[in-house]
A = this chain, B = another copy of it.
C-alpha cells in the first residue's frame, strides 16, 4: 500500500504521513447495528462499504506505527473517534452526543464535522464523509491531537470533483497512448490491451480520494473506433476500473462517441431526435448500468475539432445532450457535454472572426434548454488552456444551466511536466474571479456541475512524470473541495505529506520546494508568450517556442505581430467584440487598454510596442525584461535543487528525476527567451534598455 515497494512512488500517502494517526488509539464502530444499516444503504447495490475502507486504512496505519484500532465499544480511552451520526460510539465518549446533536443531518453525502475534547471526534452523515474526515485528520497530523477545539463542519463546495483522462486503448499514430499525456503510458491500456494493475488503480483511487476527488472519466474525449467499444463489448474493462475505485468513493465515467449508434451499432443515423437512436442509447445505458450500477455518466465532445455531433443532423447541442441525458437519467447518471466548440478551419486573413467568441455564441443561446442531468463542461478560458487566459464569459452567461469548469492539470501548454509549473495559483485566481451580482466561478461551479481537471496521470512511477507535478493533482482536489483555500497553503500540505517535512518554513525540503514552486507558474509565464497572447508553441506537439507556428493557420490562434505592434483587438469599438460577452465590470475593464490588466493586454488589444503598461514599462521592454527574468528564475530554481541533498522521503531517484527535468527546463527556457526576444527585436527594431543581446547572437559574424 505504501507504493515504493510495488514500483511506484507513494505520492502524498507515504506510510510516514500516517504516523499521527497510526501511533494513536482509534475507535471506529464496526459493521453492526444502526451504523451498519446506514453504511450498507450508502454502499447500495454497488456494494462498497466506505466505512470498511476507512477501517482498512486505519488498520494499516496502526499496524505500521504501533497504535490500536477498536471496532467494538465502548470507545474507552480512544484518541480519535470516527463514526456515523446514526451509529456513534454512544456512552463514554465525551462530547459525542453534543456533536451528533449539532451536526446530524447537516453534513450531506460527503461532509463531516470534527471537534476535539478529550479525544478528536469525527462525525459524518454518510460513509463518504468518514473517508474524507479521515483524510482531513491525516493532513492535519499532530495538530489534530493538540489543544481542544470547537465543532468545525467541512462540506465540499463542489458536489462533483472530477478528474478526466485522455487515455486511448490503441496507440494513436499521432497522439500516442495518452493524448497530451506526459506521465508514461496509460494506467489502463497498452497497445490495445487492458493492462490495468488492480493494485495500481486502487493506489491511484486512494491518492485521489485523499485530496478530495470523487469522479473519474477513464478515456479520451476524442473517441476512436476501438475506444468506442468501451461502451459496448468492452464495458467489462470499465467495470473493473470502477470496482477498484469504488471503495474510495470514486464514480467512474466514460467518454462516448456521438456517432456510436452508427459506428458501433448498426443504425444508419445518429440523429438525436430519431426514435431508433434514442432507443439505442437507452439500451446501451441499461447495459452499462447492469455492469456498473453506480456508473457516473457520459462525457461527450461533439461537433468539435472533427468529432461527430448533432450538427450533422441539423440538431443543436441541447438536442444532443438531452437525448443522452434521457437515456441516463433513469439510472442516476449525468452527461458532461463539452462546450469546446469552434471552427478550426478559420481564415487567418479575416480579423472579424474570433475563436474566443465561439463557445459563447454556440452555448449562451441554449441556456435553460438542458435537462437537469446535463452538465455543460466549459474550459476555464475562452481559447484552450493557455498559460494565462481570461475567464471564459460562458461561465457567467448560463444561469439556467448546470456548468462544470474544466481545467488542465496535464501540462500541454505549461511545460509538459518537463517544467515545474504549480497550477494551484492560477486555478485559485480563476475560482475567485467574480462579477457584478456577486457570483464567482466557484459559486457557479458549486451550484452546477462542479470542477473537472484533465490530469492524464499515468503509468510513470511518479504518477505525473515530473515528481513536483503531483502537487497539481493534489491541489486540484483540495481546491475543488474548498475553492477558498490559499494555494500556497495547499502546496504546503502536499509538501508535508509527501516528504514528511519537518515543521517550520525554514525546514528542508519545505523551504527549497516553496522557493522553487510558489512562483513557478508566473515564472513559466515570464519566459513564454507575453501578456496573455498565448499559443506561441510548436504546432502539433506544443512543446517549445514557435512564435509564428500557428499564425497563418486555420486554428484561430494569432498574435498579429507586425513591425509596429502586437496583440488581438477584441474590443467592441474596433475589434471582434469579444469583450461584449462579459458581464460588468469586466466588459468595461477589458474594453479599455488603460484599465485592462497588463497580463491580459495582448489578449484584448493590439497595441504599439511603445505602449506603456500599467506597470510603467513599455510592452516591448516588458517582453525583454520578463524573458530574461524568467530564465534567471529557473536557473536559480535549478541551483536551489542542486543544493538540496536527497534524504528521507526525498529519495535519490526522485531527486535525480527532478534534476534532469530542471536541466531541460533551463535549456528550454533559454530557447523560449532567445526566440521570443529575437522575434520581437527583429520585428520592432527596439533595442533592450539594458543592452542585452536580443537576437541571441553569441558572437559576431566572422569575416573570411
Contacting residues, chain B, for A347 (C-beta < 8 A): 698
A646 part of interface (Cβ distance < 8 Å):
no
Contacting residues, chain B, for A545 (C-beta < 8 A): 552
Q: Which stretch of A98-106, A456-464, A682-690 is in the interface? A: A682-690
**A545 to B348 alpha-carbon distance, docked (Å):** 13
Q: When the two chains form their complex, are residues A349 and B696 in contact, meaning their CB atoms are under 8 A apart?
A: yes
Q: When the two chains form their complex, are residues A350 and B698 in contact, meaning their CB atoms are under 8 A apart?
A: yes
Contacting residues, chain B, for A699 (C-beta < 8 A): 350, 352
**A476 to B450 alpha-carbon distance, docked (Å):** 66
Q: When the two chains form their complex, are residues A674 and B173 in contact, meaning their CB atoms are under 8 A apart?
A: no
A577 part of interface (Cβ distance < 8 Å):
yes
**8 Å CB contacts to B: which residues of A467-518?**
none
Q: Which stretch of A242-250, A306-314, A558-566 is in the interface? A: A558-566
Q: When the two chains form their complex, are residues A703 and B547 in contact, meaning their CB atoms are under 8 A apart?
A: no
A604 → chain B closest CB, angstroms: 14
Q: When the two chains form their complex, are residues A561 and B682 in contact, meaning their CB atoms are under 8 A apart?
A: yes
Q: When the two chains form their complex, are residues A563 and B684 in contact, meaning their CB atoms are under 8 A apart?
A: yes
Copies of the protein in its oligomer = 2
A384 → chain B closest CB, angstroms: 20
Q: When the two chains form their complex, are residues B698 and A562 in contact, meaning their CB atoms are under 8 A apart?
A: no
A625 part of interface (Cβ distance < 8 Å):
no
Q: When the two chains form their complex, are residues A575 and B685 in contact, meaning their CB atoms are under 8 A apart?
A: no
**A576 to B671 alpha-carbon distance, docked (Å):** 23
Q: When the two chains form their complex, are residues A349 and B674 in contact, meaning their CB atoms are under 8 A apart?
A: yes
A170 part of interface (Cβ distance < 8 Å):
no
Q: Mark A686-704, 1 if CB is under 8 A from B, else 0.
A: 0000000001111111111
Q: When the two chains form their complex, are residues A701 and B564 in contact, meaning their CB atoms are under 8 A apart?
A: no
Contacting residues, chain B, for A621 (C-beta < 8 A): none
Instruction: Report which of B351, B547, B562 forms a contact with A697, defined as CB distance below 8 A.
Output: B351
Q: When the two chains form their complex, are residues A576 and B701 in contact, meaning their CB atoms are under 8 A apart?
A: yes
Q: Are A702 and B562 also in contact (CB < 8 A) when A546-B548, A697-B351 are?
A: no
Contacting residues, chain B, for A563 (C-beta < 8 A): 563, 682-685
**A546 to B564 alpha-carbon distance, docked (Å):** 21
**A350 to B573 alpha-carbon distance, docked (Å):** 44
Q: Are A580 and B704 also in contact (CB < 8 A) when A563-B683, A683-B683 are?
A: yes
Interface size class of A (residues with CB under 8 A): 35 or more
Contacting residues, chain B, for A684 (C-beta < 8 A): 563
Q: When the two chains form their complex, are residues B349 and A703 in contact, meaning their CB atoms are under 8 A apart?
A: no
**8 Å CB contacts to B: which residues of A640-692?**
671, 674-675, 678-679, 681-685
Q: Are A352 and B701 also in contact (CB < 8 A) when A562-B683, A563-B683, A682-B563 are?
A: yes
Instruction: Report which of B349, B548, B702 forms a contact with A548, defined as CB distance below 8 A.
Output: B548
Q: When the two chains form their complex, are residues B577 and A678 in contact, meaning their CB atoms are under 8 A apart?
A: no
Instruction: Report which of B552, B564, B575 forms a contact with A678, defined as CB distance below 8 A.
Output: B552
Q: When the two chains form their complex, are residues B697 and A349 in contact, meaning their CB atoms are under 8 A apart?
A: yes
A569 part of interface (Cβ distance < 8 Å):
yes
Contacting residues, chain B, for A615 (C-beta < 8 A): none
Contacting residues, chain B, for A685 (C-beta < 8 A): 562-564
Question: Which residue of B has the minimal Cβ distance to A606?
Answer: B701
Instruction: Report which of B552, B577, B580, B696 forms a contact with A348, defined as CB distance below 8 A.
Output: B696
Contacting residues, chain B, for A700 (C-beta < 8 A): 351-352
A38 → chain B closest CB, angstroms: 56
Contacting residues, chain B, for A348 (C-beta < 8 A): 696
Q: Mark A568-588, 1 if CB is under 8 A from B, else 0.
A: 010011111100100000000
Question: Which residue of B has the minimal Cβ distance to A682?
Answer: B562
Instruction: Report which of B552, B574, B683 forms a contact with A546, defined as CB distance below 8 A.
Output: B552
**A678 to B675 alpha-carbon distance, docked (Å):** 20
Q: When the two chains form their complex, are residues A701 and B574 in contact, meaning their CB atoms are under 8 A apart?
A: yes
**A350 to B348 alpha-carbon distance, docked (Å):** 33
Contacting residues, chain B, for A349 (C-beta < 8 A): 674, 678, 695-698
Q: When the two chains form their complex, are residues A576 and B704 in contact, meaning their CB atoms are under 8 A apart?
A: yes
Question: Which residue of B has the minimal Cβ distance to A686?
Answer: B563
Question: Which residue of B has the minimal Cβ distance to A564?
Answer: B685
Q: When the two chains form their complex, are residues B552 and A702 in contact, meaning their CB atoms are under 8 A apart?
A: no
Q: Are A703 and B562 also in contact (CB < 8 A) when A547-B548, A675-B552 are?
A: no
In this complex, which of A572, A697, A701 has the most chain B Cβ atoms within 10 angstroms of its Cβ?
A: A701
**A671 to B552 alpha-carbon distance, docked (Å):** 9
Q: When the two chains form their complex, are residues B564 and A703 in contact, meaning their CB atoms are under 8 A apart?
A: no
Contacting residues, chain B, for A679 (C-beta < 8 A): 548, 552
Q: Mark A250-272, 1 if CB is under 8 A from B, else 0.
A: 00000000000000000000000
Contacting residues, chain B, for A173 (C-beta < 8 A): 173
Q: When the two chains form their complex, are residues B573 and A703 in contact, meaning their CB atoms are under 8 A apart?
A: yes
Q: When the two chains form their complex, are residues B701 and A575 in contact, meaning their CB atoms are under 8 A apart?
A: yes
Contacting residues, chain B, for A701 (C-beta < 8 A): 351-352, 569, 574-576
Contacting residues, chain B, for A681 (C-beta < 8 A): 562
**A696 to B560 alpha-carbon distance, docked (Å):** 12
**A254 to B683 alpha-carbon distance, docked (Å):** 48
Contacting residues, chain B, for A549 (C-beta < 8 A): 546, 548-549
19 example contacts (A-B, Cβ-Cβ < 8 A) are as follows A348-B696, A349-B674, A349-B696, A349-B698, A350-B698, A351-B697, A351-B700, A352-B701, A548-B549, A548-B679, A552-B674, A562-B682, A562-B683, A562-B695, A572-B703, A574-B703, A575-B703, A577-B703, A580-B704
Residues of A whose CB lies within 8 Å of any CB of B are: 173, 347-352, 545-549, 552, 561-564, 569, 572-577, 580, 671, 674-675, 678-679, 681-685, 695-704
A-B pairs with lowest CB-CB distance, top 3: A577-B704, A349-B696, A562-B682
13 other A-B residue contacts (CB within 8 Å) besides A173-B173, A349-B678, A546-B549: A347-B698, A349-B674, A349-B697, A350-B697, A351-B700, A548-B548, A548-B679, A562-B681, A562-B682, A562-B685, A563-B682, A576-B702, A682-B683
